[in-house]
């Protein structure tokens, strides 16, 4: 994209109704309007174009981006740091083990104490059903009160870097990858995407990736198929989101217990392991009761259950049944690659190797998506601010 293309996108952004994103958090994609989702894509592409053209996108002279990761992360952690740096913010990790949280400090107190100079707080809390999203809402309420009471000069924006319900930065990056692969968002309509469970030798992978995918891609008139063995259901309320989205967008949402049916004539396949919703609920109850022996027992049961479905693997034979045998293979990474990272896993090594470059490109959209979410929450007139950056024409690298 050249400079003229960037400026044209900025003009397109000005036509979108995204003003309600100003000073608002980004928690769930289905809480945002179509224009707001489109605005996130637009700003992400603009920021990417600016970087390609060596134009500085720094809009903050100072400030902190607080990161709180309650689960392991590589791509999202570095994407968040990259996004904050892209806008001029410095990242500070909150290590709860080294904070007063370990000594019983309340959420309200922690949220305010870390936010004196914070412009954004990114949180990953995806391990326990009913906990992650609730915690994010509590932090949001706490900083809102702190700002209203005059404790905080400004209210930091919260960005969901993955919770128990949704993984919006992942699903939005995935969608932007599809849009670029298919040549425009208008080309998503009528395309079949198979969000399927796949075998993994590990236990307890979050539901938020498959839920994020069906909750977002169903907005674009796509034919979304959710496939999994019996007993691996996702949250019913998220399935209902997908049904509503499909009904309003002219697409469809179907479920099947056959990986083969999901792959047949699919334009896009997304084979990914996750833990059953009912098991994750049980795990949360056991954790709340401090029953760690029960958690160990549940883990063994689930590993044994997984082992019954080793045939749920993305193979070359399955890929041949997709649309013209050339479906776009997607994964949030890291994938369990058969014969490479594990003996038997989600995807055959030959399939993964063939799609390695597109997979890395898929991941590369996440820093821009996160930066876009932050940007739209901080500027009342985002198109005007972006056009001023273009006029200033400050090089990122001198």
Q: Which residue has the higher pLDDT, 288 or 98?
A: 288
Task: Reply yes or no on whether the pLDDT at 374 is more than 70.
Answer: yes
Instruction: Provide the pLDDT for residue 104.
Output: 60
Share of the chain above pLDDT 70, in %: 98
The CATH 3.40.50.1370 portion of the chain extends over: 3-166+366-392, 170-363
Selection from 374, 373, 358 nearest residue 177 by Cα: 358
Q: pLDDT per residue over 10-37, tens digit each?
A: 999 999 999 999 999 999 999 999 999 9
The pLDDT of residue 96 = 80
Q: Kindly report the pTM of this predicted structure.
A: 0.96
Mean pLDDT of the chain: 96
Q: What is the pLDDT of residues 206-258, one digit of tens each?
A: 999 999 999 999 999 999 999 999 999 999 999 999 999 999 999 999 999 99
The CATH architecture one would assign to domain 170-363 is: 3-Layer(aba) Sandwich (3.40)
State pLDDT tens for residues 127-172: 899 999 999 999 999 999 999 999 999 999 999 999 999 999 999 9
3-166+366-392 folds as Rossmann fold (3.40.50)
Q: What percent of the chain has pLDDT over 90?
A: 95
296-326: pLDDT as tens digits: 999 999 999 999 999 999 999 999 999 999 9
């Amino acid at each position: 994209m050249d400079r003229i293309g960037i400026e044209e996108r900025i003009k397109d952004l000005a036509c979108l109704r995204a003003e309600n994103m100003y000073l608002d958090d980004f928690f769930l994609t289905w809480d945002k309007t179509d224009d707001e989702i489109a605005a996130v894509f637009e700003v992400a592409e603009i920021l990417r174009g600016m970087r390609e053209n060596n134009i500085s996108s720094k809009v903050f002279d100072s400030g902190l981006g607080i990161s709180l990761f309650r689960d392991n992360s590589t791509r999202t952690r570095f994407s968040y740091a990259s996004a904050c740096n892209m806008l001029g913010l410095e990242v500070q990790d909150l290590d709860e083990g080294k904070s007063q949280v370990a000594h019983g400090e309340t959420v309200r107190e922690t949220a305010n104490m870390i936010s004196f100079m914070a412009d954004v707080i990114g949180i990953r809390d995806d391990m326990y059903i009913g906990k992650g999203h609730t915690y994010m809402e509590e932090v949001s309420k706490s900083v809102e009160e702190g700002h209203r009471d005059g404790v905080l000069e400004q209210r930091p924006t919260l960005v969901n870097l993955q919770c128990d319900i949704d993984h919006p930065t992942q699903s939005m990056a995935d969608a932007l990858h599809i849009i670029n692969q298919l040549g425009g968002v208008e080309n998503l309509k009528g395309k079949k995407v198979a969000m399927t469970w796949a075998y993994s030798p590990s236990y307890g992978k979050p539901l938020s990736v498959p839920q994020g995918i069906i909750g977002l891609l169903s907005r674009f008139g796509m034919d979304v198929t959710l496939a999994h063995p019996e007993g691996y259901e996702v949250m019913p309320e998220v399935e209902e989101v997908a049904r509503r989205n499909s009904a309003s967008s002219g697409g469809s949402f179907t479920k099947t217990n056959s990986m083969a049916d999901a792959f047949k004539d699919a334009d896009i396949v997304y084979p990914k392991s996750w833990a059953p919703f009912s098991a994750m609920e049980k795990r949360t109850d056991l954790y709340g009761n401090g029953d760690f022996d029960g958690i160990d027992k549940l883990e063994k049961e689930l590993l044994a259950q997984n082992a019954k479905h080793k045939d749920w693997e993305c193979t070359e034979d399955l890929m041949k049944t997709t649309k013209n045998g050339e479906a776009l293979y997607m994964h949030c990474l890291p994938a369990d690659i058969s014969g490479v990272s594990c003996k038997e896993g989600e995807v055959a090594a030959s399939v993964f190797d063939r799609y390695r470059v597109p997979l890395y490109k898929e991941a590369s959209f996440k820093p821009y998506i996160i930066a876009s979410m932050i940007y739209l929450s901080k500027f009342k007139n985002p198109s005007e601010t972006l056009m001023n950056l273009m006029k200033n024409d400050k090089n990122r690298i001198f």
